Amino acid sequence: MTAGTRHPIRWTLRALAAMVAIFFLPLAIAVTAHYTEGSRETDWRTARRDSTGIAPLPNAVPEAVIHVYAARAFRWRGAFGVHTWVAAKPQGAAQYTRFEVMGFNVARGGKAVRVQEGVPDGYWYGNAPVLIRELRGGDEIDRLIERLHEAASLYPYNDEYRIWPGPNSNTFIAYLGRAVPELSLDLPPTAIGKDYLPRGAMLARAPSGSGVQLSVNGMFGLILAPQEGFELNLLGLSAGIDLNPPALKLPGVGRVGFPD
């Protein structure tokens, strides 16, 4: 073997080692941590869905509110990713409305999109959510909520759901982010499915509504945007660097660095 043929092999091995270190080692750590913390095989019928107390009570806050939440998915799926949803309350409303996609609805012959009144900040089958975006205000927030309703009604995968690589619940929330860029969503790297672009598109705005996203069926691609920073997508897993605030984005693990 000549020196010239050794260089491509060496670079290939280095690239493979980098992929393992960046994508699969953090994922292995996340899976180990998930099951070390205790059994996640709880019964969905008895798992907690009550409020975590994050969202303000509607009667205590007359202004309009939009919250975006992420919580670890149910059972084994929580080792890999999160479920995301939007909760919104117009000015003076007595209840919050949740915008989300539910896979079991499709399995039972129903629709994927679920827009209805509900607990805005509830445990997701036992897993506490994290608030990843909050907007409050008056008429301008009311108008954003109206646009959320309109965008949800136009979601192209209302009869379809796939856990991986999409379309799933995170595909829907990323879709809402692009439709209402004022949300400035920076979905966590564990939101598997956010990179699945509707209608087979390969190029779109990032879920934050800024920057650009390239994706091939949600399996391969990248994001370059002021809000998300730089992300690589490999087999639906995301890894990258965020500068606002500084953090690493790792598959399974999530953000490592300063909090949002």
The distance of Cα 172 from the centroid of its chain, to the nearest Å, equals: 9
pLDDT at 171 over 80: yes
Cβ atoms 106, 160 nearer than 8 A: yes
Where does the pLDDT of residue 15 fall: very low under 50, low under 70, confident under 90, or very high at 90 and above?
Answer: low
pLDDT at 4 over 80: no
Identify which has the larger pLDDT, 17 or 4. 17
pLDDT at 1 over 60: no
- pLDDT tens digits along 112-130: 999 999 999 999 999 999 9
By C-alpha distance, which of 200, 145, 206, 202 is closest to 175?
206
Cβ atoms 252, 26 nearer than 8 A: yes
pTM greater than the 0.95 cutoff: no
- pLDDT tens digits along 57-74: 999 999 999 999 999 998
